[in-house]
């Protein structure tokens, strides 16, 4: 995939996303509410601005048009956009409203409260006129258009009609992330991407089964005279319903959802880029589904890059016969990405030949000590050297498939050496986990991890479980 030659015009409600991080230490003596000790503040473009951020993260170019106030938040927002190579902004200043700002207070990776600053007034005619002029000035540069409607005023009927009408005259596809329940507001759009709740509200058809979703999509698609509806369905994945042809659905890959903030922005940005690059709607949906899977595993209003999306596509396409076993380079990139988000990475290793309750207990204890867990498996030759020619019972491919299905495990790698020292040093996790049957001085890699600022954790083991004992019982019963 290469989106470097694709330019997307993003029009919609631009806002400033502010994240304030702290620690909750006590309850206020003034009221029964927690006291948050503030530690850090981060600010980034939100709303349509986050759509633009997703576009450049995926390698494309973005032109951002929206409305801001004449205030400090606008200055911070413009400054944040200036530092994003690949984004060109034409934000229209208005003295009649503040810049939309959402402040989220975070403690221990959990959002405690959100404070919003915004105007509830409708878009004024002079504001709409300035937005339409900005659209006319930049539309010819675009390969595809995104209308990002957050219901904050920018996407009023005058702006939407003008944008879609002019884009269709120039044969530029228009993708819409809707807010209003009347999809006729977006008449003529190429693709509309409602979530399940929005689709029910717009169609009046409830039900989460495929038939109900398709029926609802076809109803609103006809009303909006759109070409395609892409229904996003959280843990059920996505369904693409075209005006002509059969519906397609893709499931979401089971994974830990860390934060859904901005996932819809990622979906529409990826869909637009993929379709603009020449992919079909079905192919674009699969890429967007992978990108959504990446961002929901991150904290905050996040984006995905092409490397992450490619790896997620590989994981979604893997099967029991061809599990996704990360290479060392892929695993290193995953660790670096997780650690850049402030997540702690754990590491444990072993043969895991016949998975039993003792193994599961170890993996559960390991995952409790970190935010993400990597398991390194001895490859088949390594096990034969350690255990003898009759082992392993299960091949590396089979063991990796089973291990990847365990809910405590976030990534699986393999090593060919007798010890995992080389791969451990390359990944350098924050926590090294082994069973309590080891002495600290005997744990391979413990010194290296500790010297790097990490720690060693020895997990209690469940008695009475071992692969060797299981094999012995099987052999006795067979005899």
CA 179, CA 183: separation in Å to the nearest integer? 9
**Which tokens sit at 183?**
């999809």
Q: Please confirm whether the linkage preceding 392 is cis (ω < 30° from 0).
A: yes
Asked if residues 178 and 202 have their Cβ atoms less than 8 Å apart, the reply is yes
The pair of structure tokens assigned to 278 is: 């020449």
Find out whether 197 is annotated in a ligand binding site: yes
Contact 338, 345 (CB under 8 A): yes
Strand order in the sheet with 7-12: 87-93, 61-68, 7-12, 144-148, 174-177, 191-192, 228-232, 238-242, 248-250
The answer to whether 196 is annotated as binding is yes
Q: Give the integer Cα–Cα distance in Å for 74 and 70.
A: 6
Half-sphere exposure of 45 (CA within 13 A, CB side): 34
Instruction: Assign 63 to helix, strand or coil.
Output: strand
- The answer to whether 411 and 435 are in contact (CB under 8 A) is no
- What lies within 8 Å, CB to CB, of 299 at 6+ separation is 106, 109, 258, 259, 341, 342, 343
CA distances from 323 to 153, 316, 396, 398, 423 (A): 47, 10, 10, 8, 20
Q: Which of 143, 265, 353, 371 is catalytic?
A: 265
Catalytic residue flag (residue 265): yes
Structural contact between residues 106 and 113, judged by C-beta atoms closer than 8 angstroms:
no
Q: Is 308 annotated as a binding residue?
A: no
Distance CA 335, CA 329 (A): 10
Cα separation values, 76 from 93, 102, 107, 218, Å: 14, 13, 24, 42
Contact 284, 274 (CB under 8 A): yes
The whole-angstrom separation of Cα 256 and Cα 294 is 10
Give the C-alpha separation, 282 to 290, whole Å.
13
Q: Is 195 annotated as belonging to a binding site?
A: yes
The residue assigned the tokens 């050496």 is 417
Q: What residues form the annotated binding site for ATP? A: 195-198
List the catalytic residues: 265
């Amino acid at each position: 995939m290469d989106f470097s030659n694709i330019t997307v015009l993003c029009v919609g409600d631009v806002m400033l996303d502010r994240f304030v991080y702290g620690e909750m230490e006590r309850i206020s003596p003034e009221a029964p509410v927690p006291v948050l000790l503030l530690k850090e503040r981060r600010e980034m473009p939100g709303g349509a601005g986050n759509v633009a951020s997703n576009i450049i993260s995926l390698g494309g170019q973005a032109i951002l048009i929206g409305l801001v106030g004449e205030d400090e938040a606008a200055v911070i927002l413009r400054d944040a956009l200036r530092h994003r190579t690949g984004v060109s902004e034409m934000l229209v200043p208005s003295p009649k409203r503040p810049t939309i700002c959402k402040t989220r207070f975070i403690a221990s990776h959990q959002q405690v409260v959100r404070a919003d600053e915004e105007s509830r007034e409708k878009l004024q005619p002079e504001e709409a006129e300035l937005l339409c002029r900005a659209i006319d000035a930049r539309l010819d540069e675009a390969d595809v258009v995104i209308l990002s409607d957050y219901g904050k005023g920018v996407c009023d009927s005058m702006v939407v009609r003008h944008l879609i009408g002019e884009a269709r005259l120039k044969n530029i596809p228009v993708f819409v992330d809707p807010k209003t329940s009347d999809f006729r507001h977006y008449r003529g759009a190429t693709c509309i991407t409602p979530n399940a709740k929005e689709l029910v509200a717009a169609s009046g058809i409830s039900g989460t089964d495929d038939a109900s979703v398709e029926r609802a999509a076809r109803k609103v698609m006809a009303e909006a005279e759109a070409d395609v509806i892409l229904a996003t369905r959280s843990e059920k994945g996505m369904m693409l319903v075209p005006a002509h042809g059969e519906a397609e659905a893709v499931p979401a890959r089971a994974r830990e959802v860390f934060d859904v903030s901005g996932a819809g922005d990622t979906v529409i940005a990826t869909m637009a880029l993929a379709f603009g690059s020449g992919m079909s709607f079905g192919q674009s949906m699969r890429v967007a589904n992978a990108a959504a899977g990446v961002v929901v595993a991150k904290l905050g209003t996040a984006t995905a890059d092409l490397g992450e999306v490619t790896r997620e596509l590989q994981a979604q396409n893997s099967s029991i016969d061809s599990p996704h076993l990360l290479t060392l380079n892929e695993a290193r990139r995953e660790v670096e990405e997780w650690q850049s988000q402030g997540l702690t990475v754990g590491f444990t290793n072993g043969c895991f030949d016949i998975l039993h309750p003792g193994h599961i207990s170890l993996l559960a204890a390991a995952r409790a000590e970190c935010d993400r867990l990597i398991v390194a498996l001895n490859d088949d030759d390594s096990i034969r050297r350690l255990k003898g020619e009759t082992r392993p019972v299960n091949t590396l491919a089979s063991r990796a498939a089973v291990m990847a299905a365990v809910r405590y495990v976030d990534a699986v790698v393999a090593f060919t050496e007798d010890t995992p020292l080389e791969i451990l040093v390359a990944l350098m996790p924050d926590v090294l986990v082994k069973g309590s049957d080891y002495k600290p001085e005997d744990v391979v890699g413990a010194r290296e991890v500790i010297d790097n600022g990490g720690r060693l954790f020895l997990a209690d083991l469940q008695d009475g479980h071992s692969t060797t004992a299981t094999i012995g019982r099987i052999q006795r019963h067979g005899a």
